């Protein structure tokens, strides 16, 4: 079910679940935690998301929709490949500054407890994000701002891994400036 088909209550449930996942981890909360936050019965939560697996899949699907929309906005707003990569990186910097982790990164650590649909959605997140990064890198090469890479796929994977991993280390260090440094260093590496 697409997130635009969900009503306000379902979105509020997903908002709370997403926040809990990004700060504590998917397996660290229960429907009772959502109930306490929203003041609704757990039976109401089960009405929208019968199992926690259903909740995970809906969360990831909505997160991916929003992330891909943000990438589309970046494509429209920024003219160069480097500017697009900087803007995308600022999303990660902002999440780290809020003392959160990327939802998909957090769920990846819980991959063994996710349903197949949730796992498929995680794979889609990484695949779509890397595809977008490859496109931005190609544009940056054509713009003359980035050096030609021997493997766009590897370069995109490394950049995404640096951003996801940087969030983890920034969280342990309690240093949101660290995430900006990771982004700057990764983009310097790609530059001419």
Whether 4 shows a pLDDT value over 70: the answer reads: no
Place of tokens 């379902």: 10
Which spans in the chain are helix H? 8-23, 31-38, 42-48, 52-77, 81-97, 103-109, 116-143, 152-173, 176-190
Place of tokens 């039976």: 43
Q: Name the residue among 150, 156, 148 with its Cα closest to residue 85.
A: 156
Whether 1 shows a pLDDT value over 70: the answer reads: no
Whether 66 shows a pLDDT value over 80: the answer reads: yes
pLDDT reported for residue 110 = 82
Q: How confident is the model at residue 124 (pLDDT cuts 50, 70, 90)?
A: very high
**For residues 95-106, average pLDDT:** 90
Residue 185: count other Cβ atoms within 10 Å of its Cβ. Answer: 11
Place of tokens 């003219």: 79
Q: How far apart are CA 110 and CA 108, in angstroms?
A: 5
**For residues 52-72, average pLDDT:** 94
Q: How far apart are CA 94 and CA 46, in angstroms?
A: 32
Share of the chain above pLDDT 90, in %: 77
Every domain of the chain and the residues it spans: 53-190
The model carries a pTM of 0.89
Q: How confident is the model at residue 150 (pLDDT cuts 50, 70, 90)?
A: confident
Give how far the C-alpha of residue 36 lies from the chain's centroid of Cα atoms, to the nearest Å.
Answer: 26
pLDDT reported for residue 109 = 85
Architecture of the domain defined by 53-190: Orthogonal Bundle (1.10)
């Amino acid at each position: 079910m697409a997130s635009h088909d969900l009503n306000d209550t379902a979105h509020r449930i997903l908002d709370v679940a997403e926040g809990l996942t990004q700060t504590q981890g998917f397996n660290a909360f229960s429907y009772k935690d959502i109930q306490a936050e929203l003041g609704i019965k757990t039976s109401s939560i089960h009405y929208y998301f019968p199992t926690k697996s259903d909740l995970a899949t809906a969360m990831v699907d909505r997160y991916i929709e929003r992330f891909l929309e943000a990438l589309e906005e970046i494509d429209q707003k920024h003219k160069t490949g480097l500017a697009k990569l900087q803007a995308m990186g600022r999303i990660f910097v902002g999440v780290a500054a809020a003392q959160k982790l990327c939802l998909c990164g957090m769920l990846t650590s819980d991959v063994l407890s996710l349903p197949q649909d949730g796992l498929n959605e995680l794979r889609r997140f990484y695949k779509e994000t890397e595809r977008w990064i490859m496109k931005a890198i190609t544009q940056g090469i054509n713009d003359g701002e980035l050096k030609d890479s021997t493997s766009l796929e590897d370069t995109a994977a490394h950049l995404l891994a640096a951003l996801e991993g940087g969030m983890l280390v920034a969280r342990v260090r309690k240093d949101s400036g660290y995430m900006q440094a990771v982004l700057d260093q990764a983009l310097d590496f790609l530059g001419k």
